[in-house]
Amino acid sequence: MSDACCHHASAPAHLSPRYRRVLWIALLVNAAMFGVEIAGGLRAGSVALLADAVDFFGDAANYGLSLAVLGMALAWRARAAALKALTMGAFGLFVLGRAAWSASEGVVPEPVTMGAIGALALLANVAVAAMLYAWRDGDANMRSVWLCSRNDAIGNLAVMAAALGVLGTGSAWPDLAVAAVMALLALSAARSIVRQAGAELRTSTTLTARP
């Protein structure tokens, strides 16, 4: 954050041309990884990979939404953040439901594909998170973008751990457990962003109401 402030002291951080460029890169990376993980998740029969693919899709859409509202007032940026938080929450609920379905079916995923794609996704997300690190303490909209990237990197590590677990046990439970953890992480982040966005909306309303 200090880097952004030092280089763009005359303008709000969210209007930084550098920040806009980073968001475009993040959007393209996430869109590409969505396709890779959908194909890999279906091939490997992995709930964790499919969950991560849905997350990549949601993040790509979220980055696009962030780009659309960068120059708008605080109230609109806060509303965009709240919408993204609801998307993250819906993702969490979807993953929990998918994990329950897979558990009832008893399908064991293919661990080598899981691990290879998880490693590729980790590299992509660490790169994006590193680029966004300077803006991690911004408004709710900027913070939600950072949290998405951070959660993705954590999720990729978990997918790789699940692949090792499946390989070692021959069971689907490591995959299902990781999917459940990813879902809970998304729900927790969504709650945090909604709270901050609500506070920013109240602040915006108060400022607007002043004579």
Count of H-run helices and E-run strands, the chain: 7, 0
User: What CATH number does the domain containing 177 carry?
Assistant: 1.20.1510
Count how many domains the chain has: 1
Task: Please tell me whether residue 70 adopts helix, strand or coil conformation.
Answer: coil
Q: Give per-residue pLDDT as tens, 38-75.
A: 899 888 889 888 888 877 877 787 777 777 766 667 67
Q: Give per-residue pLDDT as tens, 100-143.
A: 888 888 878 899 999 999 999 999 988 888 887 777 666 666 67
Identify the pLDDT of residue 115: 92
190 pLDDT more than 70: yes
90 pLDDT more than 60: yes
Q: Give per-residue pLDDT as tens, 29-40.
A: 999 998 999 899
Residue 138 sits in which domain range? 2-209
Euclidean distance between CA atoms 27 and 157, whole angstroms: 21
Euclidean distance between CA atoms 132 and 150, whole angstroms: 9
Euclidean distance between CA atoms 176 and 166, whole angstroms: 10
